[in-house]
Amino acid sequence: MNEPSPMILTVRNAPPLSSSNAFELGRRFSVIDSSKLCYIAYMIVYEFKLKGKEFQFRIVDEIIRTAQFVRNMALRYWVDNRNIKLYDLNKYCAVLAKQFEWAKKLNSQARQASAERVAFAIQRFFANCKANKPGKKGYPQFQKNNRSVEYKTTGWKLAEDRKHITLTDGFGAGEFKLIGTWDLHFYQTEQIKRVRVIRRADGYYAQFCIDAERRIESVPVKHNVGIDVGLTDFYTDSDGNKVDNPRHLRKSEKALKRHQRRVSKKKKGSINRKKAIKRLARKHLKVSRQRQDFAVKLARCVVHSNDVVAYEDLRVQNMVKNRRLAKSISDAGWSQFFEWLQYFGLVFGKIVIAVPPHYTSQECSQCGKIVKKALSERTHVCQCGCILDRDENAAINILAKGLKQYPGALENLNASGQTNLCLASESLLSKLTG
């Protein structure tokens, strides 16, 4: 019951997006090149809940199933013909449409988008192999539980009032009302590059991916911070501040576990089990929204009140392999938090640096000596007289490493301070998924 990736924004370096490379198959950003800050273009996503008749949603289900069919057929085609070019997958979509009556009903660009998802999965798989990434390389899988369909610039139509959308392809799903507080009047229809229809535990949603770019000025605050995430607190910073997971989140995570137990107690295949699974799915959605909300607000606050933010690149995937730590790490949602840190770094034109993890907790932040300590030792005590909270010591080291990694970070920041980018207000962002 994985929620879709939290990465709802795609960021690319120059040149600006064109309709063909827009969304570039969901590429993520990782390295921030401060010299290019003023050229970064990105997409913003507005989400609305769809209101329509029951029979319309059954048609949407059919559309989503068809998208999955096209995706899986394209994957099968690649598995059988491993030497084909990824572009051939696009052409194969047209072949499918000729072969299968119902596949033809799906908008041609939506068919291509499904095939592109396969191409992206294949690319990622090869990239992982090439980089010799530890653990699973992510061989592209056949999809059993697809929950969304993606249209590009055709196959849908916005009503004059911008509060209704009609799916215009062969399925004839008709018009849906858009429930949400966003105002699409602000944008030209041509700026909407993708429309994604998603099924969730509590209904159907439409996401509008809009190509937009704007610049604003921001003033350096002359403060830098290092962040050490931990198991006891959500994080500790280099000033000794500790932030914990909010209480409501901990509470609903507990409730989530309760719902999980309830499901496992019910007899397999029974109606009660089905009901319990539905309730569990709704709870999952709630928790993931709360978690997202927390990550967005916290990341915004951290980036906004600092010029340079350094955090430890935990390679969360590697750590999760350690079973004992796994549960708490997956729950903590750090990688999500880091992604938002990176994103707000772009928005506010601040420097956000991922530091490789290496002795950050063992090294003395004052004299640089290695002071070995077990995980249970919470205080750093060094011969040089430095006595610090263990995590604070680590956070100071992380900041120092970050600044060393980007020696020009501060000058660059001041130089680019005039050309920062900002698109959406953060309250808008937190609402996006909530």
In the complex, the smallest distance separating the C-beta of residue 232 from Zn ion, rounded to whole angstroms, is: 23
CA gap 300, 303 in Å, rounded: 5
| Nearer CB in complex with Zn ion: 10/393 | 393
Nearest in space to 256 (alpha carbons), one of 293, 294, 225, 283: 283
Tally of CB atoms within 10 A around 286: 16
In the complex, the smallest distance separating the C-beta of residue 192 from Zn ion, rounded to whole angstroms, is: 57
| Nearer CB in complex with Zn ion: 209/364 | 364
Strands 242-243, 308-312: pairing is: unpaired
In the complex, the smallest distance separating the C-beta of residue 380 from Zn ion, rounded to whole angstroms, is: 8
Widest CA span in the chain: 77
Helix (H, G, I), strand (E, B) or coil at 104: helix
Instruction: Tell me the sheet residues that pair with 157.
Output: 166
Helix (H, G, I), strand (E, B) or coil at 337: helix
| Nearer CB in complex with Zn ion: 211/228 | 228
- Residues in CB range of 100: below 8 A, 6 or more apart: 69
In the complex, the smallest distance separating the C-beta of residue 240 from Zn ion, rounded to whole angstroms, is: 17
Nearest in space to 423 (alpha carbons), one of 415, 414, 411, 432: 432
The terminus-to-terminus CA distance of the chain in angstroms comes to: 18
| Nearer CB in complex with Zn ion: 366/419 | 366
Helix (H, G, I), strand (E, B) or coil at 79: helix
| Nearer CB in complex with Zn ion: 209/382 | 382
| Nearer CB in complex with Zn ion: 367/375 | 367
In the complex, the smallest distance separating the C-beta of residue 235 from Zn ion, rounded to whole angstroms, is: 23
In the complex, the smallest distance separating the C-beta of residue 376 from Zn ion, rounded to whole angstroms, is: 21
For Zn ion, the binding residues (CB under 5 A) are 364, 366-367, 369, 382, 384, 386
| Nearer CB in complex with Zn ion: 47/228 | 228
Q: Is the peptide bond before 246 cis (omega within 30 degrees of 0)?
A: no
In the complex, the smallest distance separating the C-beta of residue 391 from Zn ion, rounded to whole angstroms, is: 16
| Nearer CB in complex with Zn ion: 22/396 | 396
SS (H, E, C) 119-181: HHHHHHHHHHHHCCCCCCCCCCCCCCCCCEEEECCCCEEECCCCCEEEECCCCCCEEEEEECC
In the complex, the smallest distance separating the C-beta of residue 136 from Zn ion, rounded to whole angstroms, is: 40
DSSP state for residue 191 in the 8-state scheme: G
Strands 203-212, 192-200: pairing is: antiparallel
The count of residues in the chain is 434
| Nearer CB in complex with Zn ion: 256/381 | 381
In the complex, the smallest distance separating the C-beta of residue 373 from Zn ion, rounded to whole angstroms, is: 13
